[in-house]
Amino acid sequence: RALDYLVGFNISPILWAKLPGSKSAGRVQSVALKLITERECEIELFKPEEYWSLTSDFINVNNKIIFSKLSLFNSHKIEKFSFRNKNEIKEALDLINKTKFKIKDINSKVHKRNPLAPFTTSTLQQTASSKFGFGASRTMQIAQKLYQGVEINGETTGLITYMRTDGTHISKDAIIEFRDLITKDFGKEYLPEKPNTYEGKKAKNAQEAHEAIRPTEIKIKPVDIKKYINSEQLKLYELIWTRALSSQMNSAEFNRNCIVISSENEKISFRANGSTIKFDGFLKVYEVQESGEDEKNILPKCSIGDDVNILKLNDEQHYTDPLPRYSEASLVKKMEELGIGRPSTYANIISVLSSRDYVELINKRFNPTDRGKLISAFLEKLFTKYVDYNFTADLENQLDEISSGKVEWIKVLENFWKDF
């Protein structure tokens, strides 16, 4: 706290004098602002590039449609920029339309999808943001209430463990209860032989003394407490409950199918991918947002050597996009990766940037205001070292060393203060 005061109380008056209307600078908030303004610069300088993609609807001997993507053309593997303009794609279309195709290969693999680790502070903030649109501060307020407890049958009951944590481990006692519930409610086939363990993300300043965020009593199901809590609390409790329980369940299994459709000379080929769930595993409890259409694409029965005909070819024009502006979830994720700030401070940093009018949220994305850009440029020019990502992360490491008793706090402050 002293370190943050030294930075804030000394840089802020310079800002008031040089950039009237500026409220403050801070050790971590200025670095978060720099992330947002740098991304804005990248977006402004970005030049989109054109590229085209090609897919085909084939029809097989049983009149079933096979949706597939071009994977090989003129013996070259198709990359993102294989077709850069209308002319190149038109030449490909003309050639493909004159070509006869057969089913060259069919293969099927079993693919496993492992459950996700139970929540830490930052993964909870990110998931609540993408699933429910809750901001980091909102998520923490709701979690705080669940942690402090709600009144159930005249007794205050804490529903979740401490919500400021980097740890992904669950206590042995809780795991025993989880495993009992899984066996009883879902059956033996959902229970792994031994408990699943998760490596904590090695954030540079991980505070792993606390266990992951989990329900204090797994037998208190979301449906049991519906009438004691409000709808936002229920959403968050259910998210924490399902994620924690599913982390101790078996992996889901998919049958991944692939059909390769090839020209006679094998210089052109298309691939159709699809998958079906073989065993739902942890997905029985916790829904994962599916990536791509493969998960939903069920392929028709075919045999190798069957002729297939082109029903229609679809060419589509695309342009590359710049990196998106940060959302609350992606900003938290980035700060955690860089080792800047702590789980307990993310929500606060974000609200300070908004309340001081340095950034505004437009479509749930952070846009720096003109004032925000000006301050960031000013700090970058005059206090380069102090808004440097590595410098800030390194200071966090020193703070960790103070808390574990390896260094004297006065020494750290003194080293910082002399140059500053």
3-state secondary structure of 178: helix
Q: Span 172-198, mean pLDDT? A: 96
204 pLDDT exceeds 50? Answer: no
How far are the Cα atoms of 204, 359, 399 from residue 367, in angstroms, in the given order? 27, 5, 31
**Average pLDDT value for residue range 1-20:** 87
Q: Which of 149-153, 270-274, 280-284, 292-296 is the least confident region?
A: 292-296
Residue 326: what pLDDT?
96
- The per-residue pLDDT for 218 is 96
Q: What is the pLDDT of residue 208?
A: 56
Determine the Cα–Cα distance for residues 358 and 80; give it in Å rounded to an integer: 37
Q: What percent of the chain has pLDDT over 90?
A: 71
Any idea of the CA torsion for 262, 266, 269, 271, to the nearest 10 degrees?
A: 60
**Mean pLDDT of the region 407-417:** 91
Q: In this predicted model, what pLDDT tens digit does every residue of 305-322 receive, in sequence order?
A: 999 999 999 999 999 999
User: What pLDDT is stored for residue 23 in this prediction?
Assistant: 80
Quote the CA–CA distance of 327 and 376 in Å, as a whole number. Answer: 19
- Give the active site residue among 162, 198, 228, 389: 162
* The total number of residues written for the chain in this structure: 420
Q: Is the pLDDT of residue 203 over 60?
A: no
For residue range 123-148, list pLDDT tens digits in order.
999 999 989 999 999 999 999 999 99
pLDDT in tens, 217-253: 999 999 999 999 999 999 999 999 999 999 999 999 9
**What six digits make up the tokens of 348?**
């606060």
Q: Quick one: pLDDT band at residue 210, thresholds 50, 70, 90?
A: confident
5 is catalytic: no
pLDDT band per the 50, 70, 90 thresholds, residue 367: very high
Confidence of residue 200 (pLDDT cuts 50, 70, 90): low
Is-contact 258 271, C-beta < 8 A?
Answer: yes
